[in-house]
Chains A and B, each alone.
Chain A
């Protein structure tokens, strides 16, 4: 039950961070990190797959409402949630996942977590900026936006991991 409340709290904190902090930073069109993707990364392993899809969809719509991009964030988040099980399978540690495992550094180590977060964060930003740029941006600009924003998001996610790591030990 504590786990449940922690997840709800994490959900609120991250969505607020996205809206109140990250969306207000206006440095360049290339800098547009979407930290909400971390929520999809943090879904527990035993969460039903359909529920993961539905939850990503709803979270995407909430972010979209604030950014005036209806459908775009939800599209990219649902895509990420759809491919997550496949990525999990590919990078599965030796002897598969234990029931006590959580998708974080504490539980599975940096090596695993870097592979996991980089693949899914880049996938998310790639889909996001391709859809966002349809008909306006050429491939190079979309790619540049993806790289710059994804790198920043990944750094933020690692910082979040470091932060929670210290708490645990």
Chain B
């Protein structure tokens, strides 16, 4: 026993080193699992506060282009107002509210911090659990898919964007029902790869990609990107498709979090199947 204690004391430096490194490793592993609760990240209240201060300075610099974008969106939405339309014929069916359940709830929020040139880029938004944001919610902008909510605090949430090495979303081609999974190319802030599209599918440069809705996260039909280059290299039976993402993460300032209200229903189904 004494010999063992001596051994511990003599090598305390190395043991302390191993001890600290295992905490770090535990943090790394825990963070890489979905649905994990992590304290150390940008959705933390204090860090959110600092990031918000930094953002107020940044947002002044891009007010002009942001205003222009908002104007365009206003025009688009105004065109959809019911006042603009006259029914062609009298309504034939009466829709009762109790017959419909709301599937998606949209929560508008502002990006208060973002990184676009790191290996694990992140966005922090100023809506949290108090506003109804939950882990795993989709995040979209008026242009298309932005990312997925990774962690949530009371007032803030951190979002994993498409340009994060851990992100994956299933997409289908506009003219075909074939779908593959889209990942970031790891380098450019607007580039991605679409995998798993077999050779017999016709793919052309400029084709649009939309979400499938299979993942229970994104509503289906949200734009993701356009095909930039198609090549058939590599040993597999699948194309290598380079994709231009629709969202410019360097400009984006406001987004919508999509809360899928029926997600728990669907999840409980798949749990029953797993059992």
Instruction: Give the shortest distance, in Å, between A37 (CB) and chain B (any CB).
Output: 15
Q: A57-B20, A65-B41 are in contact. Are A71 and B28 (CB under 8 A)?
A: yes
> Is the beta-carbon distance between A65 and B28 smaller than 8 angstroms?
no
Q: Does B81 contact A (CB under 8 A)?
A: no
Instruction: Give the shortest distance, in Å, between A74 (CB) and chain B (any CB).
Output: 5
> Is the beta-carbon distance between B16 and A53 smaller than 8 angstroms?
yes
A-B residue pairs in contact (CB < 8 Å), sample of 22: A29-B117, A29-B119, A29-B186, A49-B13, A50-B12, A57-B20, A61-B40, A65-B42, A65-B44, A66-B50, A66-B51, A68-B158, A70-B27, A71-B26, A71-B31, A74-B24, A82-B14, A132-B119, A132-B120, A133-B119, A137-B119, A137-B165
Contact segment of A19-27, A108-116, A155-163:
A19-27
Q: Which of A60, A65, A82 contacts B17 (CB 8 A)?
A: A82
Instruction: Give the shortest distance, in Å, between A47 (CB) and chain B (any CB).
Output: 13
> Is the beta-carbon distance between A71 and B119 smaller than 8 angstroms?
no
Cα-based distance from A133 to B120 in the complex (angstroms): 9
B23 contacts across to A, CB distance below 8 A? 57, 71, 74
> Is the beta-carbon distance between B31 and A136 smaller than 8 angstroms?
no
Over the window 1-44 of chain B, the binary record of Cβ atoms lying under 8 Å from chain A Cβ atoms (1 yes, 0 no) is 00000000000111011001101111110110000001011101
A65 contacts across to B, CB distance below 8 A? 40-42, 44, 47
Instruction: Give the shortest distance, in Å, between A34 (CB) and chain B (any CB).
Output: 11
Instruction: Give the shortest distance, in Å, between B109 (CB) and chain A (any CB).
Output: 18
B28 contacts across to A, CB distance below 8 A? 70-72, 75, 131
Q: How large is the interface on A (under 10, 10 to 19, 20 to 34, 35 or more residues)?
A: 35 or more
Instruction: Give the shortest distance, in Å, between A168 (CB) and chain B (any CB).
Output: 32
Cα-based distance from A136 to B23 in the complex (angstroms): 22
Over the window 26-54 of chain A, the binary record of Cβ atoms lying under 8 Å from chain B Cβ atoms (1 yes, 0 no) is 11110110000000000000000110011
Q: Does B115 contact A (CB under 8 A)?
A: yes
Q: A65-B44, A65-B47, A141-B186 are in contact. Are A70 and B21 (CB under 8 A)?
A: no
B50 contacts across to A, CB distance below 8 A? 19, 66
Q: Does B116 contact A (CB under 8 A)?
A: yes
